């Protein structure tokens, strides 16, 4: 009762204006509460890319993941003199007509851009890595305003495995570029700059010692042609050295392996490869097309071995390198003359050996083996040596000197079968003798200037000798119609040929 009386007295004390003020205050409180409830929640901070230092410079974490990525690449422009792109010597029909021929290109050019994408993720099995390098290039002779999109490498590395397109296990880390040469055509050892499809495994033993084994897809890269000497050959073979390829299907990959020691002062590697030679069918009587009922020779296995050494701490100066390798092949000649190099070499010149002859010419044929009807496959043997020395005059200037020597040897039976085919393709004279053995030797130098970091200008010159073993002369009937050149019907002397080629280029790496 007393509480009720107190409340009644308080109500009477509040004036009408007071009651209005209290009501307004209550309304404002309710409105303010509603507006506060409608305010947005504070935004999460933007997640910028974070540096990943676990794998070297240039890596960043992909936002929201534990994967690191590195983007890099280059732009390269080259001008090539008296040869093909990347200082390819004029040793095939495209550039082999000699300097007097008006249909010969005196220079070519290539512009290439490449993007390199490298990702790495740490897992319980170790680092999972992916790598790819899509590139776009435009070459002299391509359709106007068009180019070619290619892929050298694209692979996954996981728990010691490499799966995809990568450098061959057989190849040394420096390939043919131990003197930092621009050419892709220094032969005498394995150099597959475009990668090869493979399944490989690497064992790491510590202290820079490792071993690797792989199966590699040899379908195009590691197979030189196989000559069925009983099969009628195209007339173009007499001056190009190119014959009908009588390889059968691809029934086995190549098996490769290496043992490597990588130290601060040197890197040494011993490599081996096994290569299956699987021939097509024998030809019928008179060299007619092969058929299944004619039978075929048994498969044989070829092999290649290579030893390489690179010295990296030389008394000539910091950063100088001496790179050497020597290779022996038996039925696997593309491990000696490999990569983007072709399987035939030829060149014309104005010099002759006999009065009345029109031109001198060299014809060299590279074959994994030779067979004829009823015979086995006779494997081709060869060996080669390659070396390069790189000297740094200063941080901005460096010079490389490089060279190679390659010898190809056909067995007596292979030579007899080859020569029966080759001799029948054109009339011979002037004491002609046939011998498919040949040598190729090369020497070159490149000087590079790097005025600012990752921008390099280079000048390279290389001299190549095609040392063939045929002697005498042959009469070529209308060779221009067969080669697409202007060569006339005339007598051509078998003669060694020397070709010079050069490259001027610039490369910007990022």
Cα 3 to Cα 8, 13, 347, distances in angstroms: 9, 16, 124
pLDDT of 59 reads 96
Torsion of CA 159, 164, 167, 170, to 10 degrees: 70
Listed in sequence order, the residues at least 6 apart from 373 whose beta carbon sits closer than 8 Å to its beta carbon are 230, 282, 283, 294
Of 163, 226, 228, 224, residue with least CA distance to 195: 163
Q: What is the mean pLDDT of each run of 10 residues along the chain (510 residues)?
A: 42 42 40 44 62 94 94 96 88 56 81 96 95 92 74 95 96 89 91 92 97 94 94 87 93 97 97 98 89 95 98 95 97 91 86 93 95 96 97 97 98 96 94 97 97 97 96 88 77 94 96
Tokens of 165: 């397109």
Torsion of CA 459, 465, 466, 467, to 10 degrees: -160
Return the CATH number of the domain spanning residue range 72-509.
2.40.160.10
| Range list of β-strands (E), 282-380 | 300-311, 321-330, 344-349, 359-365, 369-371, 378-379
| Range list of β-strands (E), 85-195 | 88-89, 107-123, 126-139, 148-158, 161-166
Phi and psi of 27, rounded to 5°?
Answer: -65, -40
pLDDT of 159 reads 94
pLDDT of 42 reads 55
Domain boundaries, the chain: 72-509
pLDDT of 21 reads 38
List, in sequence order, every residue forming a beta bridge with 116; answer none if it has no partner.
72
- Give the global pTM: 0.87
List, in sequence order, every residue forming a beta bridge with 406; answer none if it has no partner.
384, 440
pLDDT of 349 reads 85
Tokens of 35: 């507006």
Parallel, antiparallel or unpaired: strands 226-228 and 369-371: parallel
Taking the C-alpha atoms of residue 339 and residue 271, their distance in angstroms, rounded to an integer, is 16
How crowded is residue 119: how many other Cβ atoms within 10 Å of its Cβ?
19
Do 88 and 110 contact (CB within 8 A), yes or no? no
Q: Tell how far CA 410 is from the center of its chain.
A: 28
Taking the C-alpha atoms of residue 362 and residue 245, their distance in angstroms, rounded to an integer, is 21
pLDDT of 350 reads 82
Taking the C-alpha atoms of residue 151 and residue 153, their distance in angstroms, rounded to an integer, is 6
Largest pairwise CA distance in the chain: 148
């Amino acid at each position: 009762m007393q509480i009720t009386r107190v409340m009644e007295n308080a109500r009477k004390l509040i004036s009408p204006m007071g009651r209005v003020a209290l009501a307004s205050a209550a309304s404002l409180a309710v409105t303010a509460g509603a507006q506060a409830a409608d305010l947005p929640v504070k935004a999460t901070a933007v997640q910028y890319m974070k540096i990943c230092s676990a794998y070297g410079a240039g890596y960043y974490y992909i936002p929201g993941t534990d994967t690191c990525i590195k983007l890099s690449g280059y732009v390269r422009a080259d001008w090539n003199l008296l040869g093909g792109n990347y200082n390819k010597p004029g040793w095939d029909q495209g550039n082999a007509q000699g300097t007097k021929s008006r249909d010969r290109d005196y220079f070519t050019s290539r512009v290439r851009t490449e993007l390199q994408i490298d990702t790495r993720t740490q897992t319980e099995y170790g680092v999972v890595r992916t790598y790819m390098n899509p590139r776009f290039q435009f070459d002299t002779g391509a359709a106007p305003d068009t180019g070619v999109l290619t892929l050298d490498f694209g692979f996954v590395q996981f728990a010691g495995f490499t799966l995809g397109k990568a450098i061959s296990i057989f190849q040394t880390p420096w390939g043919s570029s131990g003197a930092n040469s621009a050419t892709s055509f220094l032969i005498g050892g394995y150099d597959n700059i475009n990668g090869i499809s493979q399944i490989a495994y690497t064992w790491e033993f510590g202290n820079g010692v490792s071993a690797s084994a792989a199966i590699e897809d040899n379908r195009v890269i590691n197979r030189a042609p196989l000559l069925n000497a009983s099969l009628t050959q195209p007339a173009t073979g007499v001056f190009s050295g190119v014959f009908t390829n009588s390889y059968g299907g691809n029934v086995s990959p190549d098996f490769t392996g290496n043992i490597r020691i990588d130290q601060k002062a040197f890197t040494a590697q011993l490599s081996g490869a096994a290569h299956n030679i699987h021939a097509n069918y024998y030809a019928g009587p008179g060299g007619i097309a092969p058929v299944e009922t004619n039978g075929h020779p048994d498969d044989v296995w070829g092999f290649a071995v290579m030893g390489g050494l690179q010295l990296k701490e030389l008394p000539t100066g910091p950063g100088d390198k001496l790179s050497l390798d020597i290779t022996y092949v038996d039925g696997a000649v593309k491990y000696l003359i490999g990569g983007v190099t072709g399987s035939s070499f030829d060149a014309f010149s104005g010099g002759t050996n006999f009065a009345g002859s029109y031109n001198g010419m060299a014809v060299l044929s590279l074959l994994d083996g030779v067979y004829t009807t009823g015979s086995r496959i006779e494997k081709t043997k060869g060996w080669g040596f390659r070396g390069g020395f790189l000297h740094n005059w200063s941080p901005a200037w460096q010079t490389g000197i490089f060279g190679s020597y390659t010898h190809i040897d056909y067995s007596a039976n292979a030579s007899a079968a080859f020569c029966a085919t080759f001799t029948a393709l054109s009339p011979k004279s002037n004491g002609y003798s046939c011998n498919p053995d040949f040598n190729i030797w090369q020497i070159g130098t490149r000087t590079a200037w790097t005025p600012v970091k990752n921008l390099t200008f280079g000048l390279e010159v290389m001299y190549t000798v095609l040392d063939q073993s045929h002697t005498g002369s042959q009469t070529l009937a209308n060779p221009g119609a067969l080669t697409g050149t202007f060569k006339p019907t005339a007598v051509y002397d078998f003669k060694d040929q020397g070709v010079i080629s050069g490259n001027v280029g610039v490369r910007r790496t990022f």
